[in-house]
C-alpha cells in the first residue's frame, strides 16, 4: 500500500489520545511512549491529540449527531473521528488530508462508517467555536463552586494557547528582557511573552530565567524576605525553589520523587542557584531543625493547569480529588510541625477544586488554634485577596493580560510561643 503523508503523526496521536483517555496517562507521558517518530511528526501528534482533548465534548456531540447508534466512548472509530474533527476545527487541516489520514487508522475495522460520518459532518460544516464546552462533570462542579462567569472564561481559555511566563532571578534583568523582547512585566521578576519556543529564547542556556506561570510564582512571593532558613516541601521540579534561592533564602528542597529531583538539580545547575536537596517522603522525614518558613506546594489534581494540560479535566475524577485531599491534609499537618514559633507556612495547590484548597486550610486552622492566616499583600496587580485572607485564582482573572493558571494560596503564621 502506498504510504500516506502525515500518517505516522496521526497514528501516534491516536495512541496518545487512547493512553490519556483509557489509561489515565498525562499527554506528556503518552507522548514519551511514541519513540522513533521524527520531531516534526511528534510535535504534530501532540498538537492533534491536545486539540482533541481541548474540544472533546463538542467533538463527541458532532459525532453523535451523525451516527444512528452511539459509538462507544473508547471505540477506535470514535477516537479516529475525534482526531480528524479536531484537526479541522482546531488546526485548519485541509479536508482531503484529514480524511486520507483518518481512514488507514481504521483499516480492517469500521472504515466505511468513519468515512460516512466524516463525509456527513464535513458537508454540513462544523461550527467554529472559540469557547468549547468542558466535560459536563467539570462544568457542573466549577459552576457550583465558582459561578457561570468562571466557567465561561475557562471555556474561552481552553481554546487558546496561553502566553509564556518567565521568572527571572534578577528583577533588573527581567525589565531589560521585557523591553528588548516586546514582553510585559506583570510583577517583579516576571516577564510575559506571546508564546514561542523556550529553548530558542535568548538566555536559556545562561540560566537567568525559567518558565513559570505567573500564578505559580505567587506562593514563593509570600515567604517573608527576612526568613533565613526556608524549607520547600514538595519542591520538584523546582520553580519555587529557584525563586526562593534567588531571593537569598537558605533553601532545603525536599521531594519524594527521585526523577523529579534530578530535574530540580538540572534546573539549579542551569541557573547557578543553590539549595540543599533531600529525597524523602515528607510524611516520614524527620528534620534536624525547625524552619523560619515553609512552602508546601502540595501534589494535587492540577486542574488549574487545564490551559496547557487539557487532559487534567479527564484525569481528575472525584475519587482522585478525594485521595489528593486526604494526602494534602496529612502534609499540611506534618509541615506545621517543622516550623519555628512565629514562622510562616505557605500552602498552595494548582487546583480549581476547593476540596484541595479552601477546605484543607479551613480544616487545618480549625484544629490548629496556634496558627492564623496572614493576608497576602504582595500580589501582582489585579489579583484579589479573599475575605478569608487567602488567594483564589480563577479563570477570568487578568483576562485582558492573557489570564493565569488556576491556583489556591494561603499564608499561615504560627503564633510565637
Ligand atoms: C505540585 S508538585 C511541586 C511543584 C514544585 N513546587 C515547583 O514549583 O516546581 C508536587 C510535588 O510533590 C511531590 N510529592 C508528592 N508526595 C510527596 C510526599 N509524600 N513527600 C514529598 N514530596 C511529595 C511530587 O513528587 C511532586 O514533585
Q: How many CA atoms lie within 13 A of 63 on its CB side?
A: 27
- Check whether 417 has a pLDDT greater than 90: no
d(CA 169, CA 14): 40
Q: Are 110 and 77 in contact (CB under 8 A)?
A: yes
What pLDDT, in 10s, does the model give residues 195-230? Answer: 666 766 777 777 899 999 999 999 999 999 999 999
Q: Using CA atoms, how far apart are residues 253 and 234, in angstroms rounded to an integer?
A: 7
Query: With b meaning 16 or more CB within 10 Å and e meaning fewer, what string describes 243-281?
Result: bbbbbebbbbbbbbeeebbeebbebbeebebebebbeee
State which ligand 1 atom lies nearest to the alpha carbon of 302: 1
HEC letters along 38-100:
CHHHHHHHHHHHHHHHHCHHHHHHHHHHCCCCCCCCCCHHHHHHHHHHHHHHHHCCCHHHHHH
Q: Return the residue matching grid coordinates 483499516.
A: 107
Q: What is the 3-state secondary structure (H, E, C) of 7-36?
A: HHHHHHHHHHHHHHHHHCCCHHHHHHCCCC
The residue-averaged pLDDT of 73-97 equals: 95
pLDDT band with cut points at 50, 70 and 90 for residue 1: very low
Using one digit for the tens of pLDDT, what is the confidence trace for 34-71? 878 898 999 999 999 999 999 999 999 999 999 999 99
pTM over 0.85: yes
Query: 256 alpha carbon to ligand 1 midpoint, in Å?
Result: 7
Residues with CB under 6 Å of ligand 1 are: 234-240, 254-257, 260, 281-283, 297, 299
Under 8 Å between Cβ of 360 and 301: no
Q: What angle do CA 224, 229, 234 make, to 5 degrees?
A: 85
Q: Which residue minimizes the CA distance to atom 12 of ligand 1?
A: 234
| Of 198 and 279, more confident | 279
- For the CA of 260, the nearest atom of ligand 1: 27
Q: State residue 343's pLDDT score.
A: 98
* pLDDT score for 120: 97
Q: List the grid coordinates of 118.
A: 466524516
Indicate if 350 belongs to the active site. yes
Distance 397 CA to ligand 1 centre (A): 26
Cβ distance 232 to 241 under 8 Å? yes
CA 141 / ligand 1 centre spacing (Å)? 25
Residue nearest to atom 6 of ligand 1 (CA): 235
Nearest atom of ligand 1 to the alpha carbon of 350: 1
Residue 17 · residue 79 · CB < 8 Å: yes
Per-residue pLDDT averaged across 3-20, rounded? 93
Note the pLDDT of residue 108: 87
pLDDT, tens digit, for every residue of 140-169?
A: 999 999 999 999 999 999 998 899 999 999
Could you tell me which residues come within 8 angstroms of residue 417 by beta carbon, excluding any fewer than 6 positions away?
341, 342
Residue 191 to residue 389: CA distance in whole angstroms: 27
Share of the chain above pLDDT 70, in %: 98
399 CA distance to ligand 1 middle (Å): 28
| Residue of 174, 350, 361, 397 marked catalytic | 350
- Decide: 82 and 106 in contact? Cβ < 8 Å: no
Checking if the pLDDT of 2 tops 60, the result is: no
Residue 282: helix, strand or coil by DSSP? coil
Amino acid at each position: 500500500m502506498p504510504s500516506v503523508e502525515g500518517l505516522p503523526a496521526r497514528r501516534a496521536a491516536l495512541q496518545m489520545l487512547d493512553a490519556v483517555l483509557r489509561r489515565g496517562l498525562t499527554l506528556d507521558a503518552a507522548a514519551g511512549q511514541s519513540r522513533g517518530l521524527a520531531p516534526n511528526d511528534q510535535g504534530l501528534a501532540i498538537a492533534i491529540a491536545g486539540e482533541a482533548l481541548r474540544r472533546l465534548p463538542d467533538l463527541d456531540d458532532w459525532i453523535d449527531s451523525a451516527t444512528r447508534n452511539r459509538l462507544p466512548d473508547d471505540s477506535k472509530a470514535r477516537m479516529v473521528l475525534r482526531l480528524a474533527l479536531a484537526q479541522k476545527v482546531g488546526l485548519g487541516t485541509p479536508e482531503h488530508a484529514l480524511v486520507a489520514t483518518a481512514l488507514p487508522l481504521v483499516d480492517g475495522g469500521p472504515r466505511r462508517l468513519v468515512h460516512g460520518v466524516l463525509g456527513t459532518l464535513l458537508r454540513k460544516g462544523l461550527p467554529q467555536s472559540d469557547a468549547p464546552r468542558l466535560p459536563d462533570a467539570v462544568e457542573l462542579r466549577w459552576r457550583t463552586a465558582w459561578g457561570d462567569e468562571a466557567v465561561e472564561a475557562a471555556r474561552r481559555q481552553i481554546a487558546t494557547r496561553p502566553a509564556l511566563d518567565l521568572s527571572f532571578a534578577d528583577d533588573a534583568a527581567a525589565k531589560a528582557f521585557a523591553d528588548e523582547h516586546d514582553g510585559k512585566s506583570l510583577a517583579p521578576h516576571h516577564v510575559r511573552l506571546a508564546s514561542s519556543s523556550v529553548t530558542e529564547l535568548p538566555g536559556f542556556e545562561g540560566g537567568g530565567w525559567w518558565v513559570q506561570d505567573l500564578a505559580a510564582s505567587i506562593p514563593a512571593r509570600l515567604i517573608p524576605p527576612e526568613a533565613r532558613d526556608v524549607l520547600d516541601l514538595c519542591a520538584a521540579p523546582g520553580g519555587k525553589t529557584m525563586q526562593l534561592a534567588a531571593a537569598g533564602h537558605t533553601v532545603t528542597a525536599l521531594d519524594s520523587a527521585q526523577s523529579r529531583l534530578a530535574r530540580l538539580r538540572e534546573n539549579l545547575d542551569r541557573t547557578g542557584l543553590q539549595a540543599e536537596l533531600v529525597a524523602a517522603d515528607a510524611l516520614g522525614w524527620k528534620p534536624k531543625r525547625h524552619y523560619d518558613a515553609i512552602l508546601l506546594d502540595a501534589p494535587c489534581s492540577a486542574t488549574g493547569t487545564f490551559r496547557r494540560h487539557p487532559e487534567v479535566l479527564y484525569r481528575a475524577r472525584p475519587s482522585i480529588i478525594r485521595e489528593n485531599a486526604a494526602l494534602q491534609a496529612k502534609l499540611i499537618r506534618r509541615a506545621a510541625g517543622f516550623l519555628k514559633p512565629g514562622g510562616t507556612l505557605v500552602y498552595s495547590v494548582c487546583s480549581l477544586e476547593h476540596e484541595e484548597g479552601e477546605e484543607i486550610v479551613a480544616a487545618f486552622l480549625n484544629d490548629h488554634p496556634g496558627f492564623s492566616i496572614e493576608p497576602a499583600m504582595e500580589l501582582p496587580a489585579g489579583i484579589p485577596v479573599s475575605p478569608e485572607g487567602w488567594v483564589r485564582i480563577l479563570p477570568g482573572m487578568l483576562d485582558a493580560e492573557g489570564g493565569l493558571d488556576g491556583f489556591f494560596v494561603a499564608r499561615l503564621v504560627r503564633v510565637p510561643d
